[in-house]
Amino acid sequence: MRFIQIEDYDHTTMQLARPIYDRQKRILLAAGRTIHPKYLERIKQMNISTLIVEDAESHGITMDELLDMPTWMDAIEVVQKAYDLARQGKPLNVFDLQVTINKIILEVIRRKTIFLIPSSSVSEELKPYAHSVNVTLLALQTSKTLGYSNSQQRDLAMGSLLHDIGKVAGKDETLHPKKGFEIIRNNREISLLSAHVAFQHHERYDGSGYPRKLSSSEILEYPQICAVSNLYEHLVSSRKALPHLALEMIMSKNGIDFDPKIVQAFIESIPSYIPGAKVRLNNGQEAIVTRIKNNLHRPFVRLKSTGEEVDLSENLSMLISEIFSY
């Protein structure tokens, strides 16, 4: 199993490893199917740009840290409903959000780390909600490293799922944090800390953010976690950045946009390489990343020449020097 860009799909050698969903969140093509060229054009028209496939090269790669698609799609549906209710000025579906959060927390807890299903793998209409779910997964993974309690994780997750809900009020980017805060605060079942995730997630450590130009310790920890997670998800899904480059971008903003403590926790929580990524090692050999076990930044790889699997966390003289794809 591996991620590919849709333009790299080859129906003669690849089949879907995960379903493709339409705009109504119904299965358009099931796992195990090949994509006929006519269907491929339809999928491109939906602005789906990432596929999860299996081929001979990725055979045996299971990506156990990937959230299962039904759970992910259910979460997207609940977030979409919250946005729809906010547009109508109605109370949010708080109970449904809480149930979803409890499920997601359990999924994150039982995994060593989390691999994101890119928001670029769903139709344009669903991307904002997929983005919010992915930001929440990243935030929760970081919260494990920080030693958060279950109660803290629930408040962080609620704020992260709804961090962009203020965008229902209009297209002005600078207004949505305050509007989101107001929408969430009006639902008294939701913690005020969760509302501040929406209010402060565009503030920056050096005071250059918005809407209030808060800096350093003036910014609460939850929105700082959401801010780092938000940037990473945007980089890997919208800008198609490779995970290790997205992490490097975040490290470059250490102490400028983001609190060094949060950056360090994030780097310790999120892997540099995703199983299925094609790489070249410093000895010139080509390989494919197969799994993460002991070290998030030094995975197992399978050598293309021999099929041998090598644990880079044990073979310290071997390094990934180049990456060709996810």
Per-residue pLDDT, 13: 96
pLDDT at 147 over 90: yes
Residues 34 and 96 in one domain: no
- Name the phi and psi angles at 67, rounded to 5: -60, 140
Asked if 175 and 319 sit in the same domain, the reply is no
Predicted pLDDT of residue 173: 84
Q: From 148, 150, 154, 149, select the one nearest 136 (Cα to Cα).
A: 154
Residues 261 and 286 in one domain: no
Check whether residue 260 and residue 287 sit in a common domain.
no
Are 32 and 81 part of one and the same domain? no
Our count of domains for the chain comes to 3
Q: Are residues 218 and 299 in the same domain?
A: no
Residue 37 falls within a domain, yes or no? yes
DSSP letters, 41-58, are HHHHHTT--EEEEE-TTT
Give a yes or no: residue 293 inside a domain: yes
Residue 15 shares a structural domain with residue 42: yes
Q: How far is residue 324's CA from residue 326's CA, in Å, rounded to a whole number?
A: 7
79: DSSP letter: H
Distance from C-alpha of 207 to C-alpha of 229, rounded to nearest angstrom: 19
Residue 221 lies in a domain: yes
24-46 tens-digit pLDDT: 889 999 999 999 998 899 999 99
pLDDT > 90 fraction of the chain, expressed in percent and rounded: 92
Task: Judge if 167 and 304 occupy the same domain.
Answer: no
Whether 245 maps to a domain, the answer reads: yes
- 63 φ/ψ sector (left φ>0, alpha ψ -120 to 50, else beta): left
Residue 294 confidence (pLDDT): 87
CATH number at residue 176: 1.10.3210.10
Distance CA 71, CA 170 (A): 30
- Specify whether 198 is located in the same domain as 179: yes
Q: Would you report the helix, strand and coil content of the chain in percent, each value rounded to 5? A: 45, 15, 40
Mean pLDDT, the chain, as a whole number?
95
The residue among 152, 172, 135, 175 whose CA lies nearest residue 266 is: 135
What is the extent of the structural domain holding 282? 278-323
Would residue 38 count as lying in a domain? yes
Same domain, 27 and 106: no
The amino acid present at 295, given as its one-letter code, is N
Give the side-chain half-sphere CA count within 13 A for 10: 8
Say if residue 205 is in the same domain as residue 90. Answer: yes
In whole angstroms, what is the distance from residue 263 CA to residue 79 CA? 27
Mean pLDDT, rounded, for 46-63: 94
The label of the residue with tokens 């596929």 reads 51
For the stretch 259-318, pLDDT in tens is: 999 999 999 999 999 999 999 999 999 999 999 998 999 999 999 999 999 999 999 999
Q: Are residues 98 and 178 in the same domain?
A: yes
Q: Are the C-beta atoms of residues 228 and 266 closer than 8 Å to each other? A: yes
Decide if 59 is inside a domain.
no
Q: Look at residue 142 in the predicted model and tell me its pLDDT.
A: 98
The answer to whether residue 170 scores a pLDDT higher than 90 is: no
Whether 104 maps to a domain, the answer reads yes
Q: Is the C-alpha dihedral spanning 125, 128, 130, 131 positive or negative?
A: positive
Q: Look up the CATH number of the domain holding residue 33.
A: 3.90.105.10
| Residue 60 placed within a domain | no
Kindly tell me if the per-residue pLDDT of 238 is higher than 90. Answer: no
